[in-house]
Amino acid sequence: MDEHTHLDPFRYIRLPHVNVRSGLSLARILLARVPDDPGPAVLGAAHRVEAALDALEARWKAKQLQPRVADVRPADAQVDALWTVLESSLERYTALEPDDPDRVRAAEIHERLFPAGLDFIRLPHMEQHVECQRRLDLIEDEGLREDLDRLIGAAFIDRMLAAHAAYGDALGITRVESPTPPAPSLGEPRRALTRAISNYALQVLAFAGQGADNVAAARHALEPIDRLRRAIARRRAERVVSPSADEGLDEGLDDELDDELDDELDDEPGLARPGAAADAASDAA
């Protein structure tokens, strides 16, 4: 059968998995290529694609504005470093004479704070915070602060207390954050957009079937789907993909496919790159 007068429906009705950004890009390009005078069925399907696109982009924008979960790792690393320095600073007093008062006092404090060395800083975050707090309570309850100020330095001990407080804040222990609403799900609106695009492709194929003169316009209208498939095929050829490749591509197609679709967006007059509003809102937040 002549490929110039026939379009294979299986290439267009069942779309491959794409991520949100690629889906938005594809939808916008398809809407820019709606054939002239295609009839009410194609126009109605195009309107449904536009509605699904708007719904997904609105949900995506809302998700971009969600407050991000605090990263506890910097606070944890700071606390680890300070306790490590404190332990080694007390240990250095062993270089003095055995009967030196500072060596004796440093050894006593070391035994109280570090009976098992620094094992406690390798505990899970919550358990580590408890162990750190226990040692800080010992410093206060047993009056060790004055000697630590003299042996280690008051500024250092103050910094340790501040770091511990920041660690507790990051863990949500010493500062309770307002409840964060759950992030809006993108799965269903993304699937709705995919269904709308598939239905639109079906209507364009029906339009092509109404006469040979419509085939070229239909082919131009659906060509972005061909480009999407070629980009995925290239990606699969360039790397080893597991049996669940489609699911992985759904999350990992950003680089090559999004860049390719964005390049085409630049060539389509009057089109804004999808996600620009969401990105701007995220930057302003």
| pLDDT digit string, tens, across residues 11-45 | 888 887 778 888 899 999 999 999 998 999 999 99
| pLDDT digit string, tens, across residues 207-236 | 998 988 899 999 999 999 988 888 877 877
**285 C-beta neighbours (distance < 10 Å), count:** 10
pLDDT-derived band of residue 5, with 50, 70 and 90 as boundaries? low
Question: Taking 80 as the threshold, does the pLDDT of residue 239 lie above it?
Answer: no
Residues of the chain with pLDDT > 90: what percent?
Answer: 54
Task: Give the residue carrying structure tokens 């309770």.
Answer: 176
Instruction: Write the CB contacts of 81 (distance below 8 Å, at least 6 apart in sequence).
Output: none
Instruction: Write the CB contacts of 230 (distance below 8 Å, at least 6 apart in sequence).
Output: none
- Each domain of the chain, given as residue ranges in start order, spans 10-66+186-284, 73-171
As a whole number, the mean pLDDT across the chain is 81
**pLDDT of amino acid 45:** 96
| pLDDT digit string, tens, across residues 139-173 | 999 999 999 999 999 999 999 999 999 999 888 87
Cα Dmax for the chain: 104
| pLDDT digit string, tens, across residues 70-97 | 678 999 999 999 999 999 999 999 999 9
Residues of the chain with pLDDT > 70: what percent?
Answer: 76
Task: Give the residue carrying structure tokens 């759904």.
Answer: 250
| Angle, vertex CA 165, rays to CA 163 and CA 167, nearest 5 | 70
| Among 7, 3, 25, CA closest to 231 | 25
